Amino acid sequence: VTRSLAESRGALYAVLFQPTLHFAKHWSRDESKMWHARRPGDGEEISRRAAALYAAAIPAVSRWGRDGHTQVVDLTRVYENTSETVYSDSVHFSGERGYAMLTSEIEKQGLVGEIARRYRDWESSPVTWAPQP
């Protein structure tokens, strides 16, 4: 759906795999305590399932992207090398540490420059952005 809508308007898009507490992260004492308090009955099972889904999805989506569909940016391992508390619920991020790590990875992958280049290309293109009837 995203691809169809973006392409119909000449827009750029990418698929981002964002980091999650449940994949490639050594939990801090606080993270373990928080998760066990929230899901005392099935937390371990949910976390293992999330990790398994991420592990299966990464190569599948990467292959899909390489087949010419879009650029896939894998950010799933951003928190891999830290056991610090990084607040993330897989959708929203809060706390300076998590954002700093995410920003560092995006810069390391050269994505800031790539986004700027693509934006300049788009801005200078003859596409007119008029409201659709």
| The pLDDT of residue 50 | 92
Q: Which of 61, 78, 98, 65 is nearest to 23 (CA)?
A: 78
* pLDDT class of 133 with cuts at 50, 70, 90: low
| pTM of this prediction exceeds 0.75 | no
Across 76-97, average pLDDT = 78
**36-80: pLDDT as tens digits:** 898 999 988 999 999 999 999 999 999 988 887 778 888 899 999
| The pLDDT of residue 52 | 96
**14-41: pLDDT as tens digits:** 778 888 888 998 899 998 898 889 899 9
Alpha helices of the chain — where are they, by DSSP H? Answer: 2-8, 29-38, 43-64, 96-108, 111-123
Instruction: Tell me the C-alpha distance between 111 and 7, whole Å.
Output: 21
**98-129: pLDDT as tens digits:** 888 888 998 998 888 888 887 888 788 776 55
| The pLDDT of residue 103 | 86
